[in-house]
Structure 1
Amino acid sequence: MDDFIAARSQMALSLGFHIIFSCIGMVMPFFMAVAHYYWLKTNDHVYLNITKAWSKGVAIFFATGAVSGTVLSFELGLLWPTFMKHAGPIFGMPFSLEGTAFFIEAIALGFFLYGWNRFNRWFHWVTGVVVGVSGLLSGILVVAANGWMNSPSGFDYINGQYLNIDPIKAMFNDAWFSQALHMCLAAFAATGFAVAGIHALMILKGRNVAFHSYAFKIAAVFGGIAAILQPLSGDISAKDIAGRQPAKLAAMEAHYHTSKSAPLIIGGIPDDEAKEVKYAVKIPGMLSFLATGDLNGEVKGLDSIPAEDRPPVAITHFAFQIMVGCGMLMLTIALFYFFAIWKKKEWLRKRWLLSLFVLATPLGFIAVEAGWTVTEVGRQPWIIQGIMRTADAVTPMPGIVYSFYMFTGVYISLSLVVIFLLYRQIRMVDKLYDVPPYSPQTKD
Structure 2
Amino acid sequence: MDDLLAARLQMAISLGFHIVFACIGIAMPFFMAFAEYKWLRTGDEQYKKLAKTWSKGVAIFFATGAVSGTVLSFELGLLWPTFMEHAGPIFGMPFSWEGTAFFLEAIALGLFLYGWNRLNKWVHFASGIAVGLSGVASGIFVVAANAWMNSPSGFDWVNGQAINIDPVAAMFNDAWFSQALHMTIAAFEATAFAVAGLHAFLLLRNPQFDIHLKALKIALTIGAISAILQPLSGDIAAKDIAVRQPLKLAAMESHFETSKNAGLLIGGLPNVEEEKVDYAIEIPGLLSFLAFGDLDAEVKGLKEFPKEEWPPVLVVHIAFQIMVGAGSVMALIGLLFLLFYWKWPQQITTKWFLKILVGATPLGFIAVEAGWTVTEVGRQPWIIYGIMKTKDAVSNMPGLEIPMLTMTSVYLLLTVVLVWLMQRQISNLHYELSSKSEESKVM
With the shorter chain as reference, the TM-score category is over 0.9
Structure-1 residue corresponding to 2:441: none
User: How many Å apart are 1:429 and its aligned residue?
Assistant: 1.6
The residue that corresponds to 2:405 in the other structure is 405
Q: Which amino acid aligns with 1:312?
A: P
Partner of 1:359: 359
Tell me what 2:246 maps to: 246
Q: Which residue of 2 aligns with 1:101?
A: 101
Residues 1:43 and 2:43 aligned together: yes
Question: How far is the alpha carbon of 1:344 from its aligned partner?
Answer: 2.5
* 1:72-221 alignment, distance < 5 Å: 72-221=72-221
Shift, 1:206, TM fit: 2.6
Q: How far has the Cα of 1:423 moved from its partner?
A: 1.4
Give me the whole-angstrom Cα distance separating, in 2, the residues matched to 1:133 and 1:418.
Answer: 24
The one-character-per-residue Cα deviations of 1:354-382 (angstroms, maximum 9, x if unpaired) are 22111100000000000000000000000
2:313 maps to what in 1? 313
Tell which deviates more after alignment, 195-204 or 428-437. 428-437
How far does residue 207 in structure 1 lie from its aligned partner after superposition? Answer: 4.3
2:210 alignment partner, SS class: helix
Name the amino acid aligned to 1:82: T
Which runs of 5 or more structure 1 residues have no equivalent in the other structure? 438-444
Equivalent runs, 1:290-439 vs 2, <5 Å: 290-433=290-433
Q: Which amino acid aligns with 2:306?
A: P
2:279 aligns with 279
Aligned AA for 2:293?
A: G
Q: Contact 2:196–2:361 at 8 Å: present in 1 too?
A: yes
* 8 Å contact from structure 2 (residues 259, 301) kept in 1: yes
Give secondary structure in 2 for the equivalent of 1:295. Answer: coil
Counterpart contact for 1:208–1:430, Cα < 8 Å: no
What is the alpha-carbon distance in structure 1 between the residues aligned to residue 261 and residue 20 of structure 2? 38
Give the number of equivalent residue pairs. Answer: 437
Q: Secondary structure at the match of 2:281?
A: strand
| 3-state SS in 2 of match to 1:433 | helix
Q: Please tell me whether residue 70 in structure 1 is matched to residue 70 in structure 2.
A: yes
In structure 2, distance between residues paired with 1:110 and 1:304: 54
Deviation of 1:210 (Å): 1.2
Q: Secondary structure at the match of 1:209?
A: coil
Structure 1 residues 185 and 99: CA distance shift in structure 2, 3 A: same
| Contact 1:156-1:163 within 8 A present in 2 as well | yes
Cα deviation for residue 435 of structure 1 reads: 6.7
1:22 is aligned to 22
Q: Provide the C-alpha distance between the structure 2 equivalents of 1:355 and 1:184, rounded to a whole number of angstroms.
A: 27
Contact 2:209 2:433 in 1 (8 A): no
- Secondary structure at the counterpart of residue 73 of structure 1: helix
Q: Distance in 1 between matches of 2:328 and 2:202?
A: 25
Mark the CA change 1:435 to 1:99 in structure 2 (over 3 Å): closer, same or farther.
farther
Distance 1:331 1:159 in 2: 49
Partners of 1:207 and 1:430 within 8 A in 2:
no
Shift of 1:31: 0.2
Q: Aligned with 1:136: secondary structure?
A: helix
Per-residue deviation, 1:353: 1.6
* TM norm structure 1: 0.97
Which one-letter code corresponds to 1:22 in the other structure? A
The whole-number CA distance in structure 2 between the counterparts of 1:432 and 1:249 is 52
Gap runs ≥5 in structure 2: 438-443
Amino acid at match of 1:403: P
Q: 1:240-298, CA deviations, whole angstroms, 9 ceiling, x for partnerless residues?
A: 00000011101100111111111100111100111000000000010011111111110
Counterpart Cα distance in 1 of 2:434 and 2:38: 21
Match of 1:441 in 2: none
User: Percent identity over the alignment?
Assistant: 64
In structure 1, C-alpha distance between the alignment counterparts of 2:112 and 2:30, rounded to whole Å: 13
Aligned residue for 2:261? 261
Measure, in 1, the Cα distance between the counterparts of 2:57 and 2:425: 8
Backbone CA RMSD of aligned residues: 1.2
Are the counterparts in 2 of residues 28 and 191 from structure 1 also a CA contact under 8 Å? yes
Post-superposition CA distance 1:162-215 (Å, at most 9, x none): 111111111010000000010011101100000001111111123443100111
TM-score of the superposition, structure 2-length normalised? 0.97
